[in-house]
Amino acid sequence: LQLALAGFRTVLIDRDGVCKHTSFGNSGLIQCENVVPYAFPRQPLKVLSYALNLAPEARLIWRDMPSLLPWLFAYWRHGAAPRVRATAGAARPLVQAAALAHQEMAESAGTSHLLRPTGYLKVYRTAAAFDQAAVEDLAAAHTYGITLELITASDLKALEPGLMGAFAGAVYYRQPPSLADPAELTNAYATHFEYIGGRIVTGDVRALTQESGGWSLAAGEITLVAPHVVLALGPWTNDVLQKLGKSLPIGFKRGYHMHYQPVSDVALTRPVMDAENGYLITPMRRGIRLTTGAEFARRDRPPNTVQVDRAERAARGLIGLGPRLDDQVWLGARPCTPDLLPIIGQLPGHAGLWLNTAHHHLGLTLGPISARLLVEMMQGVDPFTDPTPYSPTRFF
């Protein structure tokens, strides 16, 4: 859509249809405050709890570890404090422009009403966890210009009277908008793309071939030829790059979701993260969506319900949840680089082949703004921010 809006004659090739995979299952939150990355923990006790699968926010499939260890080691290295600060500083221009970029794109598509001005809450049940979060989050807010409020237990109950149990407090981020149906917004963007002249074609980009002066792809009964190709393939990026003799260090933080029938007469009005149990609940059109933390496993390992089951048990003590509304858990693979910065730019040695991928937990959040940056690079104009930190050349 950003390419078409900029005047490029654009075809979108998609294997299964718009919004059928990873971005379909997100929490519906435009996290314009999420500058500091989800770094690999450095506290020994937390690392041990992850290794033993005792922490609800993370699960390791140990039989997959041999293939995952190189990426996990690189991710661990980038969890050192100086590297986390470097990542946060590099991410800031994209993350903090994300909400406005969505607003502008939604206005162009006539769908601004889908962006709800809700903000979101991170709730804490224990005073120790809340006090630690207050120190860390306030420090990050001061460093990176993030707006937040510390909420007392009584104020939390006033904001969300449907929450149950005792709380020590909450961190309230007012700025991030949320969605009642992320797929509805994404499909609206696709509809607008076609309306302004874009074309959507079903095809498998693994058939991409380089030719003199450009790129060619056979899709069904047609062959598409173009001087420029953008790979926005998320966890499937290397499926194409390996055919070109390249590979990027993209790992996978798999995540699940499930919808539940609300049982309380008092509706949940905004996303709420249970910070001590590593899941998030969001009021959506279908019901209350519960999204899990990260499962470290092979990308294509079949789904299981362990992480959803554990999060559900905790969530039933947080909000009134009725029966499950989905026949099976939904699974997506969040594509992550070790430094948790996206990959945006031209692939070295392959003129006209551009990447916009590996947005980790922020795929929906960063979609419009990272696309804007890429389009500015393709146009040859001065981009709104320095694209160097996101360049694929950092891995070659």
pLDDT mean over 146-168 = 95
At residue 182, the pLDDT reads 93
Has residue 265 got a pLDDT over 80? no
Q: Are 175 and 99 in contact (CB under 8 A)?
A: yes
Rounded to the nearest integer, the mean pLDDT of the chain is 95
At residue 69, the pLDDT reads 96
At residue 109, the pLDDT reads 93
At residue 113, the pLDDT reads 94
Q: What is the 3-state secondary structure (H, E, C) of 157-200?
A: HHHCCCCCCCCCEEEEECCCCEECCHHHHHHHHHHHHHHCCCEE
Which of the 8 DSSP states describes residue 129? H
Which residue has tokens 């790059």?
A: 241
Report helix, strand or coil for 101: helix
Q: What is the 3-state secondary structure (H, E, C) of 267-332?
A: CCCCCEEECCCCEEEEEECCEEEEECCEEECCCCCCCCCHHHHHHHHHHCCCCCEEEECCCCCEEE
Cα distance between residue 235 and residue 246, in whole Å = 15
pLDDT digits (tens, 9 = 90+) for 360-373: 999 999 999 999 99
Residues of the chain with pLDDT > 70, as a percent, come to 100
Has residue 21 got a pLDDT over 90? no
At residue 124, the pLDDT reads 97
pLDDT mean over 6-14 = 95
pLDDT mean over 357-384 = 97
At residue 221, the pLDDT reads 85
Give 62: exposed, middle or buried? Use CB within 10 Å, 0-12, 13-18, 19+.
Answer: exposed
Q: ∠ CA 182-186-191 to the nearest 5 degrees?
A: 145
Q: Closest Cα to residue 311, out of 332, 280, 284?
A: 280
pLDDT digits (tens, 9 = 90+) for 283-318: 999 999 999 999 999 999 999 999 999 999 999 999
Cα distance between residue 59 and residue 371, in whole Å = 32
Q: Are 22 and 234 in contact (CB under 8 A)?
A: yes
Has residue 352 got a pLDDT over 90? yes
pLDDT digits (tens, 9 = 90+) for 40-94: 988 888 889 989 999 889 999 999 999 999 999 999 999 999 999 999 999 999 9
Cα distance between residue 91 and residue 85, in whole Å = 10
91-to-88, 116, 359 alpha-carbon distances in Å: 5, 24, 11
Has residue 105 got a pLDDT over 90? yes
Give 117: exposed, middle or buried? Use CB within 10 Å, 0-12, 13-18, 19+.
Answer: exposed
Has residue 211 got a pLDDT over 90? no
Name the pTM for this structure: 0.95
Cα distance between residue 151 and residue 170, in whole Å = 5
Give the confidence band of 325 by pLDDT, cuts at 50, 70, 90. very high
pLDDT digits (tens, 9 = 90+) for 223-247: 999 999 999 999 999 999 999 999 9
Locate 43 and state its tokens.
């506290």
| Residues 246-256: b if buried by 16+ CB within 10 A, e if exposed | bebbbbbbbbb
Amino acid residing at 7: G
Report helix, strand or coil for 228: coil
At residue 229, the pLDDT reads 97
Has residue 192 got a pLDDT over 80? yes
At residue 387, the pLDDT reads 98
225-to-218, 239, 304, 346 alpha-carbon distances in Å: 9, 20, 41, 18
Cα distance between residue 21 and residue 212, in whole Å = 33
Cα distance between residue 112 and residue 19, in whole Å = 19
Cα distance between residue 212 and residue 393, in whole Å = 23
- Measured over the CA atoms of residue 263, residue 266, residue 272 and residue 273, the dihedral's sign is negative
Has residue 23 got a pLDDT over 80? no
Locate 180 and state its tokens.
């009642």
At residue 25, the pLDDT reads 86
Amino acid residing at 304: N
Amino acid residing at 57: E
Which residue has tokens 């690189």?
A: 74
Q: What are phi and psi of 118, to 5 degrees?
A: -95, -30
Which of the 8 DSSP states describes residue 29? B
